[in-house]
Structure 1
Amino acid sequence: MAAWQRHQAGGRRILIVSYHRVVNDFTGELQRSIPGLLISQETFRRHLEELGAAGYQFATMGEALDVMAGKRTTQKDLCVVTFDDGYRDVYRYAYPVLKELGVPAITYLPAALIGTEQRFNHDRLFHLLHRAVARGYQPRFDVLPGPTAQLLDTVLSGRMRVSAALDDFIGQYPTDTLVETIHALEERLGSGPDLLPEQGDLMNWDEVRRMVRDGFDFGAHTLGHRVLTHEPLATVEREVRESKAIIERETGITVRDFAYCNGWYSDELIRVLVRNGFRSAVTTEDMPNRIGGDPFTLKRKVLWENFSLGLGGEYSPSLTVCQMDDCFGMLGLRGPVPGRRPQLAETDSSNAVARPAGTPLEVNG
């Protein structure tokens, strides 16, 4: 299967893997966080070890792009390790493992949130919805904003799990609506420190600079984690340009790589990236990368803890290797969710954005 994949890819496989949060206590964190963002430090280490044992050579994004562009050759299949969002537990638990094993990596930062006490909108909504369920909240749907009422009804009725309902909600509405929903839920649930999640804190700039000094790279992931296909092009331009400028100012590096929030992109968005000096952008499309492929639609395999759990709930090396080698995709048992989406038109006054349902938040950036 690997030989066939190399042939299809044009000579060598270029696997890009993506993670979000690497945690010390997966079971404990699972009770209060979006499951698909989590992987334990032990499982993360085993992923790296087994990728190496399977014949992959770890590479920087720049090295992989050179191979894709035909500027250099490689005797081995390449693997690029990426992290989305800049969670502090990546610094705490992934960074030491990467250093120990000598594995390069790139982390995509939401530049305006780094060094603050803020939490991502998706983490805040997940936390508030769980609080609503735990408190037995009985909403008056007639006094709630329409999107908030829709989300609460879906969760409180039991029709969908919180993470699945939240996924569909984020896929439908732009950031301003998410913020409105957060405020509406906080107002109805009353004041108190438990309305802000303790977990999900982000790196500060000193931690980022320490990783830079150790040779790790960083890319941009907008200013505040906006799904840019939901936004007008003026907002897209600002998010791209200013996120790049902030990271460069704080670290002294040149930012050339970008990660699409939710993995969604458009031709218009790509043109903005090119105009602002980027050389690549990663999606969450779980497909092979091909020699000569578009560096602005790089495919990634987004991984979390349960991708490596066997039928008995234990870690399965065989299953992990099957995931890395895309055996299930080759057998037609799993298909990728496309990331290319229509760009919101400047004249579109609606705040709802149509898209196919079922793109799991757990495995998106």
Structure 2
Amino acid sequence: MTNIYQETRKFAKEFIDPISSNLDKECRFAEEVFEELGKKGYFKLIIPKEMGGLGGGIREDVEVVRAIAESNPSVGLCYMMHNVALSYLLKYGNDTIKEKIVKDIVENNVFCALSGTEASSGVHMQNSSFTVDIEGNTATINGSKHMVTSGGFATWYMTIAPEKTGSDHIINWFVSKDTEGVSFEENGWNGVGMRANASVPMHYKDVKVDVSHAVDAAKVETKPLKVDTLYFLLGLTGVYSGLCTSLFEAAKEHAISRTYPDGRTLADVDIVSDHLAKIYCYSASAVSLAHEAVQAYENDSEDAFQKIISSRIVASENAIDSSKYAMRVGGGKAYNRVGQIERMMRDSYAGQVMAPSVDVLKQMLAGTFK
């Protein structure tokens, strides 16, 4: 998988680029893209080879997400959520549920999603109002989630809920959308950006699953950084660093193709070339820090967690700054929604508010210095 980034860019140009604008306009989930992702084996990217997967890890995940996000960050976001849930299952799941879901992914090209936020508690996902009543080997789950990415399209949902009713111990239950009592609200997503998503409410009414579907990292993990946190933070780094790159490419293309009667291009204007230089620096720094954070994790460096957090912060903020200067380069055409720059600008702002928000991440980062 040495050329996984280039291979995925080729995939994205073929299957995502032609429909990216329509996905945004129609505010719909890229169902046809995910069908192709399954056919090409991307859903089994991080599954070990001995289990039928490709044997990749966090490095390959970030490169694939970044490559997809360059064509459409919404698609990259939904894909990275799959690997967040899958990484958690692979590391902490018992053999029964692990083998069941991995077999489904490998043989049927299904994918996973996260089911965490609730209307009453928002991003404070540990404050779950769910009930989980256990009788024998059966757990009965009741509750509703608020904004479930890929809702109704993913097959398996990593659901944050108590270990059992009355317990303060929060774990994850893996629930299939085909389980009786599971339902989704339609047309629940109308985001400013990231519109190729399906972030909708998901309801659990007397949903019965085997207790083997419960996965508790606390029983296994000895390090402070859980694997799903790693994949979540660095996955979003991949999303927004990819967006930075596409903003530079879009602004550059516009500046070079806009010509004056004397033969000069918009790129020859000093202030415009300065804007392009800034956007390139934003892109290059976001991508470089993503690589550095991955390397720090793989080397078990003392500052690995700090670099992981900072990579997410830098990628998110650089995407917004890149969009600001790209809009200046695009001028009236970009403001009139000609081309992709305006859509990318809207997509960039999701990084500021998506849990954990940039403000929260900065507090977390500052806390590591004490």
Range class of TM-score, shorter chain: under 0.3
Give the TM-score of the pair, scaled to structure 2.
0.26
Larger Rg: 2
* Greater relative contact order, per chain length (Cα 8 Å cut-off, separation 6+): 1
Of Structure 1 and Structure 2, which has the larger fraction of its residues in helix? 2
TM, length-normalised to structure 1: 0.26
